[in-house]
A = this chain, B = another copy of it.
Amino acid sequence: MNAPLRFEILQSPARTRGRIGRVETPNGSFETPAFMTVGTKATVKGLYPSLLRGCACEVLLANTYHLLLRPGPDVVAELGGLHAMMGWQGPILTDSGGYQAYSMADKNAVDEDGVSFKSIVDGSTIRMTPEESMRIQNALGADIIMAFDDCPPSVDPSAGPVNQTRLKLAAARDARGGEYDHAARVRASNERTVRWLERCKKAHARSEEQALFGIVQGGTDEGERAWSAERIGAIDLPGYAIGGVAVGESPADIHRVVEFTAPMLPSSKPRYLMGVGYERDILAAVLSGVDMFDCVLPTRNGRSATAFTRTGPLRLKNQAHERDREVIEPGCDCPACDPGRHGLATPDGRGFARGTIRHLFRAEEMLGPILVSLHNVRHFQRLMLDIRRALREDDWLAFARRWPVAIAGIDPALFGRLGLTELASEAPPEPADDTETTDA
């Protein structure tokens, strides 16, 4: 039997738990630690794929839930599969659809066999089970597919303020009736996730072409995470993910759970932290041993005119930028800041001015979201390049000078525990921010 995925660890630096590697799939390879750009509905919003290539994107993510609803997996298959639809000659990963079924559907109900939910497209009732998720993902044809899991609330929704995602996740459980017992819910969900993973593995019909990853759950409880990591890691698979992170917790909780969980996953397999996140969260997770990431932040924030920079966000709609001739971030090599590197000679050899981008947003022109999305997509690829460089050269002070935004918001004690004592005197944590895992 052919392996659908090969993971090679190229370098394991002495300090930190980070590693440099390469994932090979039937549709090409990518370097790790890797950031996957999100193309929810079989397109990275607004970006002609050659421009994504120009940003050095190597691997994309699409969302099973959205593609199930429209155009449907059979249509995707008839159109040549996800790679053909996305015009993408490279690796693609699909999620299982489970997280969106819980968090996006207006009504849903979970039982031992699966989840029922209402389509946000036409209101019809849809039934998702581990077997159905495999059937759909087999039809979509991504190189890496995810197990259908039972994702519990990461923190107790009955205690303290909750965000909307948390409320929906709680509502999904409450639909079963009875008093909500968070610890019991997490444990039940953890056990079910193991049973569902076995069913996924059995139902997976294209295991020589598509690599199935299992998902560790357990919320913010280290005992539950340990239990889950042990059970999930014991099932032989090409890779493993950490789910249920960054669904409402504080950055400190995110970093703590990842630091605790990542090392418990098989070290010879790629470790994927789902739906994360900000620069600080990615850095903390890489140092804890995580290899793969995805997040909608680059494109979602791009569409609302918020540009990522190495020193923090830039809001391009601000009046202050009306006559601003500076590019988004001087020194950046993205198609907005440095079009000359992307096949576009400009009259003055300069990139698109902040004032021009502000005008495009005010005039509701597509090119505004396109340019800021491209910049943000490139920002996260540059982050990963520089993280790999810092791992390779073991020079984290140089990294910290280049990426203040990534260093800020990490508890200095974490750096200390991971051996980076030179970073342990840096900036205090930032306030929490939520991330989501689809770009709808």
Contacts and interface: CB of A to CB of B under 8 A. Distances in A.
Contacts of A231: none
Interface centre among A48, A352, A362, A374 (most CB of B within 10 A): A48
Interface string A61-101: 00000100011000100111001110111000000000000
Given A360-B43, A366-B45, A75 B322 contact: yes
A322 B78 CA distance: 10
Contacts of A359: 41-42, 70-71, 75, 79, 85
B346 A79 contact: no
Contacts of A362: 70-71
A87 B339 contact: yes
Given A48-B367, A79-B356, A355-B75, A344 B41 contact: no
Contact of A83 (B47, B48, B50, B347): B347
A348 interface: yes
A85 B348 CA distance: 10
A21 interface: no
Contacts of A27: 347
A411 to B, nearest CB: 39
Nearest to A352: B87
A6 interface: no
Interface string A345-370: 11110101101101110110111011
8 contacts: A43-B363, A45-B366, A48-B371, A50-B344, A79-B356, A83-B347, A85-B356, A87-B346
A346 B89 contact: yes
A379 B337 CA distance: 30
B49 A344 contact: yes
Interface of A is mostly: loop
A325 interface: yes
B46 A46 contact: yes
Contacts of A389: none
Interface string A310-354: 000000000000110100000000010001001111111010110
A175 interface: no
A47 to B, nearest CB: 7
Given A75-B359, A339-B87, A342-B50, A80 B325 contact: yes
A86 to B, nearest CB: 8
A41 B363 contact: yes
Interface in A33-52: 41-43, 45-51
A48 B353 contact: no
- What interface size band does chain A fall in? 35 or more
Contacts of A89: 345-347
Contacts of A66: 363
Contacts of A107: none
B78 A367 contact: no
A118 interface: no
A43 B367 contact: yes
A127 interface: no
The 6 closest A-B pairs by CB, nearest first: A46-B366, A50-B344, A83-B347, A50-B343, A71-B359, A43-B367
B325 A78 contact: yes
Contacts of A366: 43, 45-46, 366, 369-370
Nearest to A322: B75
Given A70-B363, A80-B353, A87-B339, 17 more contacts: A41-B365, A42-B359, A43-B360, A46-B367, A47-B367, A48-B374, A50-B339, A50-B344, A71-B359, A71-B362, A78-B325, A80-B350, A84-B346, A84-B348, A87-B346, A87-B352, A89-B345
A256 interface: no
Given A27-B347, A363-B41, A85 B353 contact: yes
A371 B45 CA distance: 13
A135 interface: no
Interface centre among A46, A79, A358, A374 (most CB of B within 10 A): A79
